[in-house]
Amino acid sequence: MQRFFCALSLSFLIFFSGLCNAYGEEDEELSYLYGDDDFVSIATGHRQRISEAPAVASVITAADIRAMGAQDLDQVLESVPGLHVAVSSSAYNPIYIIRGIYARRNPQALMLINGFPITNVETGNRGGIWAGMPVEMIARIEVIRGPGSALYGADALAGVINIITKGAADIDGLEVGVGGGSFDTRRGWLLYGGQLNGWDVGFGVEVFDTIGQRRTVSADAQTLRDVLDGTLVSLAAGSVNTNRKLIEMRLDLEKDEWRIRMGYQGRRDVGTGAGVNQALDPVGSGDSDRLNLDVTHKTERWVDGWEISNSFSLFDVTIDTQDLNLYPAGVFGGFPNGLIGEPSISERHYRYDLVGVLKNIERHRIRLGAGYHYLDLYRVEEDKNFGSGSPPADLGTVQAVAEADRFIGTNTRKLSYVFVQDEWRLARDWQFVAGVRYDHFSDFGDTINPRLALVWAAEQLTTKLLYSSAFRAPSFGNLYNRNNPVSVGSPNLKPEVIDTYELAFDYAFSPDLRAGLNLFYYEMKDLIRIEPVAVNSGKQIGKGFELELEYELGPNALFSANYACQRARDTLTHSSAANAPQQQVFLQLDQALAPKWRLTTRLNAVMDRKRAAGDSRSEIDDYTTLDLSLRGVDVLPGVTLTALIFNLTNTDAREPARYDPVSKSVAIPGDLPLPGRSFMLTVSKSW
């Protein structure tokens, strides 16, 4: 299979070369080759053509999301070249693997909503109760593969995912929709865009409720304990627990120089997946509430030649858990209700950012920025029915844990930063971008991260030579975890760092055909590993390429494809980086079947995932899934019908379950099952 796809890639390149010769003398203007959606702001902080942006980026619009029939953010992101969405055993939280960079908690991928981070400082990711994100209120998604710390600071190490929500201009009226399908799934939404007292108003609310897929795990962590202890209490074989209830609310207000955005993400009864301790748990659940507010004032009136933007943002997140069964009833010969833990945390983040853009210097666009962030883990609570010792003492009832004995204590982090970036138009077709950012953290010190980009944008061919560095800040868990036998913090940790080199080509062969080739090489150092004490050790070296193709097959059909190939090696274990696919293929065909009906077919292949060093299981199986989306637009005035089939062939797709290098054991030897064939039907009405 590996040789086949390498041969296919070579043929692909030769084919492109031939087309290059065939269309090399065409003199098409860029305005005819690129639509209005082919713009990105995440690369430099302002809107520009994606082919000319000094980064390897992808943009997915609301129209793209509807065409592919995606119901959740993770289904959308799987279409991005070099990005694969795996899952963790705990709550089936997503793991965004970009170019082979994999970690169970996934802190190396920075997620933003409207340009502001939603990172939990305790875990370094989206938090333990994330449960995905519905898509009806998403206007567009911008993704950078590769470092972004020169603009965005901490955690933009493997890549940046910016979710831009809908405002009044994206909705323009009233829309309501409902849907239902497999796994007792129900969803509904309401969107409104209009004007009120001179303000452009965008509002949306979306709800989602499902019992989730119920595929079977044949053995789990308690199965292993049963062998050791001579008991028979494991719930395996049994089903994973993926039920969840979601609510999303967004309000977007815009007038003159002001923009105010507020959001709420509520999560209730989120299931434990394959168990927070990799032991099946059909009882435990988690709730979370995320509130965000950002106020931005942008003006060119204050100082001649300068565009000045002031932003204040607030992010508040609360996570509460109930009846988490770390092990089921009967473990260790006792615990009639199971080994129960109920950790809860609350965080509040305050951010102030000031950005100035100087535009009146010929051939230069200079961007200066500074800011101060205050991150506060202000509440930590823990209830459990077991004490210390091995095996743990049975306390009989669930009891509150004294503050000094909780798994982590409250803490704060203060961050201040400055950055400068110059976009220098060297000549008509040449642009040089140089930038650097300095960050000072109150708990682990300073970082400096530069970026350099040389972009040559001719009429049909754009070439980019890129260098950038980035860092991943140690989470509070990495630094301060205590009273946790599997993860103990170390206050002397350094951040993970990465240096990445990229060479990218984008070629428009004709108005109907575009292709891209991205080559990359990176070195990631000071990896944070849990052994079980957190340490910096070793590095990962990765290289690979991504091919992209978009071909308009006449006025009624669009074909898009991408292929990603990467090889990453862990220098500490002298083995391939674990769990990340070394090859991915994504194909999509969107075609008209009748004047009001369109069919979208998507194929996604995930291949060549290696086990962790020391894991003696057979290699992780490849899988290919096929999804169909049939849409009827204006079947009645303003009415859209959509019928969806996911995993049409009912492929037994699985994501790798964790190998513990400390105990040298595997809790779930059969890996984590993904959903089989499922169906969804939605109907919406616009006015």
**CA–CA separation, 90 and 45 (whole Å):** 35
Sequential DSSP letters for 198-238: TEEEEEEEEEEEE-----EES--HHHHHHHHHT------SE
Evaluate if residue 49 carries a pLDDT over 90.
no
Residue 178, judged by CB atoms within 10 A of its CB (0-12, 13-18, 19+), counts as: middle
Evaluate if residue 13 carries a pLDDT over 80.
no
Q: To the nearest whole percent, how much of the chain has pLDDT over 90?
A: 85
Residue 331 sits in a domain of what CATH number? 2.40.170.20
What are 666's strand-pairing partners? 659
Average pLDDT over residues 524-550: 94
User: Cβ of 344: how many Cβ atoms within 10 Å?
Assistant: 17
| Lowest mean pLDDT, pick from 303-312, 414-423, 484-493 | 484-493
Tokens describing residue 683: 């109907």
**CA–CA separation, 419 and 353 (whole Å):** 11
Domain count, the chain: 1
Average pLDDT over residues 624-637: 95
Q: To the nearest whole percent, how much of the chain has pLDDT over 70?
A: 94
Q: So what's the pLDDT on residue 2?
A: 42
Could you give the C-alpha distances from 339 to 87, 92, 222, 279, in angstroms and in order?
A: 24, 21, 11, 11
Q: So what's the pLDDT on residue 606?
A: 98
Whether the CB-CB separation of 136 and 192 falls below 8 Å is answered with no
Evaluate if residue 10 carries a pLDDT over 90.
no
Q: Is 301 left (phi over 0), alpha (psi -120 to 50) or beta?
A: alpha
Could you give the C-alpha distances from 10 to 13, 563, 572, 635, in angstroms and in order?
A: 5, 12, 32, 45
Whether the CB-CB separation of 420 and 449 falls below 8 Å is answered with no
**CA–CA separation, 144 and 98 (whole Å):** 10
Evaluate if residue 18 carries a pLDDT over 70.
no
Tokens describing residue 385: 């029915």
Categorize the per-residue pLDDT at 99 as very low, low, confident or very high, splitting at 50, 70 and 90.
Answer: very high
Q: So what's the pLDDT on residue 389?
A: 82
Q: Is 124 left (phi over 0), alpha (psi -120 to 50) or beta?
A: left
| Lowest mean pLDDT, pick from 205-209, 307-311, 384-388, 530-534 | 530-534
Residue 124, judged by CB atoms within 10 A of its CB (0-12, 13-18, 19+), counts as: buried
Whether the CB-CB separation of 192 and 204 falls below 8 Å is answered with yes
Categorize the per-residue pLDDT at 26 as very low, low, confident or very high, splitting at 50, 70 and 90.
Answer: very low
Evaluate if residue 569 carries a pLDDT over 90.
yes
Evaluate if residue 388 carries a pLDDT over 90.
no
Q: So what's the pLDDT on residue 37?
A: 58
Average pLDDT over residues 172-176: 93
State in Å, rounded, how far the first CA of the chain is from the last one. 51
What is the domain range of residue 637? 2-686
pLDDT digits (tens, 9 = 90+) for 247-284: 999 999 999 999 999 999 999 999 999 999 999 999 99
Whether the CB-CB separation of 86 and 102 falls below 8 Å is answered with yes
pLDDT digits (tens, 9 = 90+) for 517-536: 999 999 999 999 988 899 99
What DSSP state is assigned to residue 158?
S
Query: How does strand 109-113 pair with strand 159-165?
Result: parallel
Evaluate if residue 543 carries a pLDDT over 50.
yes
Average pLDDT over residues 389-415: 93
